[in-house]
Amino acid sequence: MKKRLWMLMTGSLAVLILAGGYCFFNGTPWGKYAFSKDVDHYLNDRYVMQQDSYTQTVLYSFKEGEYFSKIRLPNGSMFVVSPNYQHELDDTYYRLPVQ
């Protein structure tokens, strides 16, 4: 009985450590979801882009401790939306080269 309890406690601790490490390096799933919704609202308010007119990939930078989003438009151009130093969303859309 004690061996089972010890194995259960050790297994639970290992799962917690692995989950914590994953969240530290990759962010939480609910954090990515919330950031993607913030980016959707930002793009809709600033550029009147509907969600079906672009592809969004949300990533997490453990170095900065913040999420950022890569946006790909149907014409193939890409830009990044990320928080600035005032924790407001900012993008690189205006810096795209003219083709």
Tokens of 44: 């809709």
Whether residue 81 lies inside any domain: the answer is yes
- Residue 11 placed within a domain: no
Residues 26-52 have pLDDT tens digits of 899 999 999 999 999 999 888 887 777
> Is residue 17 situated within a structural domain?
no
> Which domain covers residue 64, as residue numbers?
28-95
pLDDT, tens digit (0-9, with 9 covering 90-100), for 49-69: 777 788 999 999 988 889 999
The answer as to whether 12 is a domain residue is no
| Structural tokens at position 97 | 């080269």
Does a structural domain hold residue 83? yes
pLDDT at 94 over 80: no
Three-state secondary structure call for residue 92 = coil
Q: Are 40 and 51 in contact (CB under 8 A)?
A: yes
CA 68 to chain centre: 6
pLDDT category, 9, cuts 50, 70, 90?
A: very high
Whether 67 is in a domain gets the answer yes
Based on the structure, what is the number of domains in the chain? Answer: 1
Asked, for residue 20, whether it belongs to a domain, the answer is: no
Q: Is residue 69 part of a domain?
A: yes
Rounded to whole angstroms, how far apart are CA atoms 32 and 59?
7
